[in-house]
Structure 1
Amino acid sequence: MASPSSKAFLSLGRIYIPLLGFNKSSGKVTYATALSINSSSGNKGLPDRGGRGSLGRRPRRDAGEPRTEKMPVDQDWTAVYPAAAPFRPSSVPLPVRMGYPVKGGIPPEKKGNLELIKIPNFLHLTPAAIKKHCEALKPFCTEWPSALDTDAKCDEHFPIKVESTDYVSAGPSLRNLSARIVHLRNYDYAMYLLTVLYHESWKTEAWEAEKTVADMEEYSWEDSPSQKNVLDLLLRMKVAGEGDGEEVRQQLLGRREVQEYKDSVTRLKNEGESESGMVQYKEAVKKVFNL
């Protein structure tokens, strides 16, 4: 039979197990009625769950301004997009929008726009990048022969030939590995691709007409203020012969000294100022105005 002390231990043990103490010598059960106030050593120096600790919550770091706000106008774009990559809104300083306009509004902006990331882009194939690629391949290429100055001569000496082969296969198997190479389909696709690229290159959009002189990739001397000023000065000097306006203009533009002046101005605008460029410009000005 269980003793009274063991019954008391079982009844109290269901409730106060963490706080019980049993004295074997006296046979009495003792228990604590107060909770411990000692903090856990594992959380020493750390904030409480409520965020009211000694350290407190760290301040949230504000996002900096996008990269597009820091880009200089004359930056090297080939360093921004050196190779094919998805669209990055923080790297493209253009107000691009794409997507379905919600409630008759405008398409969503570029920030966080997944439609711009889905499609391929040609930001790595700018004229400057293509020029760099051509300069890198130039040492491995030969110059175009000066004698081939017409299309007729090119067709005569280097005609484009399409070779085809008809054969009869004889063997123990009905399947021929060479028959898997469909040359006719490749030829048709090549002709189709060349035709499409040629006609697509001649298409223009309405917004292309809004391009101004300041938006040009390179400086063009044709119809520029420099060309107009030179023509006006030469007309005042009466260096042209008799004729109407267009004939006189063509006569002046065809002069050797005017062509040298055109080349010097174009070089300064496209390549920047250099000692040799300034000397060339100086000599061209002296020849044009007979100085």
Structure 2
Amino acid sequence: MYASVMRCAMLRGAKGATGALGARRFASETSARRSAPLPEDDEFRVLNFNKKRVQLRRPPLKREPIPPPRTQTMSEKQHWPSVWPGPRSFHPASVPLPLRQGYPLKNQAPPGAFCNAELMKIPNFLHLTPPAIKAQCDAIKKFCTPWPVGLETDAKCDEKFPLEVITSDYCHSGPSIRDPLSRIVTIRMKLSKMPLDNHARDKLRRLVGDKYDETTDMLTITSDRCPFKKQNLDFVMYLLTAVYHESWTVESWEAEKTEADMEVYIWDNNASKKSAIFVKTWKPDQVVDLSKDFIDKFDISTIPEMNEYKEAVNDYMNIGENDYQIYKYKNAVLKMLGLPVTEQLVISDSNKS
């Protein structure tokens, strides 16, 4: 029993010693930790209401002196296309011209070129001077082919190329380059350039209506119903082809037309031609053949008086009676009969039609 009591006392003493050592070890660690310096982030910050702001002074900027406008140093013999090579907005320091534009105040000149919005917002053609155009033409001349021989004049061009196509292109400084007016296409052609006989010519004139101008003998067809230029071009070419082929079409009822049904007077189909041939071919000792075949085959181009007489009769019957047509018909009859013409026609052009 005594031994067990001693054993318990020894165990308690050892545990007490161990606790004391542990207590001392923890106490030393706490004091060491307290004596160690704290990091800067853990230090307590003091609120200072009297803190003075430190102003940083920037070094002064050294500005270069503004040079004078370029126009003051330009030479009169300078190469202008190098100064203004392409399209651009107006710049007063580069254009040595005393330009003014804008609404002038009372008793004052219009605003000058500097700081002038009116000059800057409109397009200019300062890049298209004659020397610049000449230099550009010389540069692209090597890519061009010689002008065709035989087309030196407008008359020769109209003879070889009777059809004229007219279109328009527009330039804009806005956001869109399209213009609704550029779709309009017009073609023009003289009716005398078409291979038409009397029937086809008369029928074509009735089909086209007011699109034919009798004074210039010009047929004009215009289209703007399609949204694109190529479509309108195809459409007007289709119309020209359609009216041409339709004019050559002969309906069954057209063969039944008589002279009284004709809309205009045709000298070749009337008795006036037969009478003129009788007058020019009559001889006292011969009988004149006035058969239909003889009259149709008779060539009046060999007799100048008959051509003039034919024109005078046609104009008198189709245009109407006036002083000019009466005197013209009178002189043509006198020439047909071989009589001298005693009066000259001195009539103004207004009386010819």
Q: Same fold per TM (> 0.5)?
A: no
Q: TM-score, length-normalised on structure 1?
A: 0.39
Q: TM-score, length-normalised on structure 2?
A: 0.33
Larger Rg belongs to: 2
